[in-house]
Amino acid sequence: MAASWRDDRRKTAERGYGSKWQRERLVFLDQHPLCERCEADGRVEAATVVNHRIPHKGNMKLFWDRSNWEATCKRHHDSDIQREERSGVVKGNGRDGRPTDPCHPWNRSGEGRRG
């Protein structure tokens, strides 16, 4: 069985999280100072972590793709996001009550759709 990207024991700098990342994450957090997930919940919380929306799993092109970056607070990163990555399920509902997980049956074309 292949090892997970998370099991990679190389130094963080060797995985892309070196001085260039530290500079770029600070610029990104300066441009996006609030946690996107807290804002979606109607709360205001400072963002301290830059999360990769789609886990890069060592793909450096995806790693540096800023459209794949998400400003989050530590609480969201260390709880909800980690759980989503482990389970493969996005938690929560939108304002219309529909599940936010794109793989939820209600969000697939055809089956299970309302209206």
pLDDT at 57: 82
- 40 or 31, greater pLDDT: 31
**Would you say residue 32 has pLDDT above 90?**
yes
pLDDT at 69: 94
- 63 or 41, greater pLDDT: 63
Rounded CA gap, 103 and 32, in Å?
28
CA distances in angstroms from 13 to 9, 19, 28, 83, 86, listed in the order given: 11, 8, 19, 25, 24
pLDDT at 67: 93
**Would you say residue 1 has pLDDT above 50?**
no
Locate the domains of the chain by residue range. 17-107
pLDDT at 108: 72
pLDDT at 99: 62
**Would you say residue 24 has pLDDT above 90?**
yes
